[in-house]
Amino acid sequence: MDRAQMAVIRLRMISPSNQSPYTLDELARLGGVSPALVQRYLEEGLLAPVAGNARTSWFFDDNALFELRRIQRLRRELGVNIAGVAVIHELLQQIDDLKAELAELRQSVSGHLNE
Amino acid sequence: MAVQFRDYYEVLGVPRGATEDEIRKSFRKLARQYHPDVAKDKKVAEEKFKEINEAYEVLSDPEKRKKYDQLGANWKQGAEFRPPPGWQNMRGEPFNGRAGSDFETHFGGTGFSDFFEALFGGAGRRGGFTGFTEDEQFAGRGRDVEGDIMVTLEEALRGSVRQINVQRAVPCEQCGGSGSRSQHVCNVCGGAGRVNRADTYQVRIPPGVIESQRLRIAGRGEAGVGGGTAGDLFLRVRLAKHPDFAIEEHNLVHEVEVAPWEAVLGAQVRVPTLDGAVNIKVPPGTQNGQRLRVRGRGLPQRGGTRGDLLVGVRVEVPKTVSDKERELWEQLARESRFNPRS
């Protein structure tokens, strides 16, 4: 058989970074901010560690890194203050929940219609 | 170098004679509307957001606005534009005479168009909201790209490899990211220097992922600007609906139907789990709606443990009965002292 015909298209395999959990300092470095600022966001309840109960034993995952970068974007690009960021987070979360609920309701309605 | 003309007044929706205040107000309104973190359609919003920022960068700075206004009012958005003779000299001029100032805001990854760079050089990063400084290494960094990835419960438990399509902006290969080819606007990217490309990858889903967990794939976000590093790709895990199980945090819920006598006398019933079916004991006197717990057969949790499988018991009553069955129920009714309403 022709070799070309046997060729299998190989897609590039990518793996998520398995560097997490991060310490507070590592999280700050990946987010491009100072550890003191991360601490501030923690005090304001904008970020939460996944484990640990003292500063030295706090650990964070990639969700925290995503949130940290989003906080920075909102502050930098929209001039939102920290309280404003907290409100935006809350509203985005609510929209997310409502979307999920809507999707579920739509699914069950279309299920009933098909019956 | 030929690039596409950008009508910054049109982008911000203000007349050519607009005051600084009007320009700032319009910018703020549009920036809030089109910020990719809050807009409904992220992809469209992102491009628009960059345009708005670039327009504000020029129109909010009296020096730059003056230079821009010198081009005249006859240009149309998107027209092929060649800087008039003499303009090239203005490239690389320091802005406001305070290059590297701490007061400058940096728009990380907000790429400026080649039209902008042809007029003002590549150094413009003033931004709309002052008083914010950030790590220099983040200036020019590409934006993060986010997306959802649907994962079945079996995949969440055991891990898998999934194919994904990612749409992101990458440097245009046709013009090498410059936006022009042999003195004309590049016909592939339309002068933007960047094109949206859909990449297909196989992505490894590690075992034990949970709902809404984000997987970060470093460097697979948008291309950086001016030598900045690329952003990251964040994939948010969404657990797919399963025909047998509902999800309650780390627990799975399965509903099983039993006959009235099974509920009264107790029974062995077979229930599915993600690791194959198991027999469970329904204890005598089980109530309708009661939940039985099968430990460790739920979803993975952080730290390697697993939630439980909760089996909801639903007592089903026969809709029709044979003569013999009716006799037996009648006998039971006579002899039973059970009164649910007492």
B97-130: string of b/e by CB count within 10 Å (b at 16+)?
eeeeeeebbbbbbbbbbbbbbbbbbebbbbbbbe
Same domain, B27 and B121: yes
Q: Is B146's pLDDT higher than 70? A: yes
Is B342 within the bounds of a domain? no
C-alpha B52/C-alpha B104 separation (Å) is 18
C-alpha A78/C-alpha A81 separation (Å) is 9
Residue from A76, A80, A93, A107 whose CB has the most chain B CBs within 10 Å, to mutate: A76
Spatial contact of B282 and B292, defined as CB atoms under 8 Å apart: yes
For position A8, what pLDDT does the model report? 52
Same domain, B131 and B8: yes
C-alpha B68/C-alpha B54 separation (Å) is 12
B105–A16 CB contact, under 8 Å: no
pLDDT band of A1, cuts 50, 70, 90: very low
Is B340 within the bounds of a domain? no
Alpha helices in B203-294 (DSSP H): 260-265
Same domain, B149 and B68: no
User: Residue B132: its chain A contacts at CB < 8 A?
Assistant: 75-76, 79
C-alpha A69/C-alpha A72 separation (Å) is 5
Residue percentage of chain A with pLDDT more than 70: 86
Same domain, B103 and B197: no
The enclosing domain of B201 has a CATH number of 2.60.260.20
C-alpha B231/C-alpha B140 separation (Å) is 10
Looking up tokens 């046997």, which residue turns up?
Answer: A6
| Residue among A61, A41, A37 nearest A50 (CA) | A61
pLDDT band of A11, cuts 50, 70, 90: low
**Rounded to 5 degrees, what are φ and ψ at B147?**
-160, 165
> Which of B175, B207, B239 finishes a domain?
B239
Q: Which of A32, A66, A78 sits opposite B35 (nearest CB)?
A: A78
User: Residue B107: its chain A contacts at CB < 8 A?
Assistant: 76-77
DSSP string covering A54-99: SGGG-BB-HHHHHHHHHHHHHHHHH---HHHHHHHHHHHHHHHHHH
C-alpha B43/C-alpha B40 separation (Å) is 9
Same domain, B20 and B100: yes
User: Residue B49: its chain A contacts at CB < 8 A?
Assistant: 77
B217–A107 CB contact, under 8 Å: no
The enclosing domain of B24 has a CATH number of 1.10.287.110
DSSP letter at B225 equals S
B223: containing domain = 145-239
| Cα end-to-end distance, chain B, whole Å | 92
Is B341 within the bounds of a domain? no
Q: Which of A11, A20, A76 sits opposite B132 (nearest CB)?
A: A76
Give tens-digit pLDDT for B108-144: 334 677 777 777 765 444 444 544 444 445 667 888 8
For position B179, what pLDDT does the model report? 72
For position B312, what pLDDT does the model report? 96
Tally the domains of chain B.
3
Spatial contact of B273 and B297, defined as CB atoms under 8 Å apart: yes
Same domain, B134 and B21: yes
Strands (DSSP E) along chain B, which ranges?
Answer: 3-4, 80-81, 145-151, 160-171, 180-181, 184-185, 194-205, 214-217, 233-239, 246-248, 251-258, 267-271, 278-282, 291-294, 309-315
Collect all residues with Cβ–Cβ distance below 8 Å to B314 and sequence separation of at least 6.
B255, B256, B257, B258, B288, B289
User: Which of A52-56, A70-74, B200-204 holds the top average pLDDT?
Assistant: A70-74
A32–B212 CB contact, under 8 Å: no
- Segment among A21-25, B76-80, B98-102 with least mean pLDDT: B98-102
User: Which of A12-21, B86-95, B281-290 holds the top average pLDDT?
Assistant: B281-290
User: Residue B134: its chain A contacts at CB < 8 A?
Assistant: 32-33, 72, 76
Q: Which of A13, A63, A74 sits opposite B214 (nearest CB)?
A: A63
Is B303 within the bounds of a domain? yes
Residue from A20, A69, A71, A95 whose CB has the most chain B CBs within 10 Å, to mutate: A69
Residue from B37, B49, B52 whose CB has the most chain A CBs within 10 Å, to mutate: B37
For position B175, what pLDDT does the model report? 77
For position B302, what pLDDT does the model report? 73
Is B57 within the bounds of a domain? yes
User: Residue A65: its chain B contacts at CB < 8 A?
Assistant: 216
Residue percentage of chain B with pLDDT more than 70: 82
CATH of A15-114, one of 3.40.30.10, 1.10.1660.10, 2.10.109.10, 1.25.40.10: 1.10.1660.10
Same domain, B8 and B114: yes
Q: Of all helices (H) and strands (E), which one includes residue A105?
A: helix A82-114
C-alpha B52/C-alpha B33 separation (Å) is 11
Same domain, B65 and B171: no
Three-class DSSP category at B293: strand
Cβ neighbours of A90 (radius 10 Å):
10
**A3 CA: distance to closest CA in chain B (Å):** 24
DSSP letter at B123 equals -
This model of the complex carries an ipTM of 0.81
Half-sphere exposure of B212 (CA within 13 A, CB side): 9
B197, burial (CB in 10 Å: exposed 0-12, middle 13-18, buried 19+): middle
Give tens-digit pLDDT for B258-308: 999 999 999 999 999 999 999 999 999 999 999 999 999 999 887 778 999
Instruction: Give chain A's radius of gyration (CA, Å).
Output: 21
Q: Which of B38, B127, B214 sits opposite A62 (nearest CB)?
A: B214
> Which of B239, B258, B283 finishes a domain?
B239
Residue of B nearest to A70 (CA): B37
Residue type for position B114: D
B113 or A9: which leads in pLDDT: B113
Question: With the C-alpha atoms ordered B163, B165, B168, B171, is the resulting torsion angle positive or negative?
Answer: positive
